[in-house]
A = this chain, B = another copy of it.
């Protein structure tokens, strides 16, 4: 058995690589899916495909339709979602992706520093598992495969 894991969260640093590396070190049979992690490309993909747009909002609309196409297809394939919250950025997409997964019946593992628990408390209550580190998230997934 292999599991597909969607990694929801900001795309400003390489936290997903860390998870991918650790998962390999732990020999976990996981396939990871993610949004476009190149932030500029994610912002420009609409114009890249559709050409220049009349204004910033139209540019955003074009980009977000491509980003959401990607997320919808990959989320549909996911068995479980890891959603990471941190100190920086608005992270509304992280909350959106986490809630989408929860409503689709897919279990969500929420990673957030303890000091962010208060603003994330309703999300935490709906998550299947709440942890503080990426390693703990992978340990939770490792537990699914262990038999003793």
Contacts and interface: CB of A to CB of B under 8 A. Distances in A.
Interface of A: 1, 3, 31, 34, 36-38, 41, 45, 48-50, 54-58, 60-61, 63-74, 76-77, 79-80, 85, 90-100, 102-105, 107, 109, 114, 117-126, 128-132, 136, 139-140, 143-144, 146-148
Contact of A45 (B54, B91, B126, B143): B143
Given A45-B143, A49-B139, A64-B121, A129 B90 contact: no
A2 B49 CA distance: 22
Given A54-B58, A56-B117, A103-B104, 11 more contacts: A36-B143, A54-B55, A57-B114, A69-B107, A69-B128, A69-B129, A91-B92, A92-B94, A95-B96, A97-B99, A99-B103
Nearest to A89: B119
A115 to B, nearest CB: 10
Contacts of A121: 60-61, 63-64
A35 to B, nearest CB: 9
Nearest to A73: B144
Nearest to A57: B117
A96 B99 CA distance: 5
A140 B73 contact: no
B56 A122 contact: no
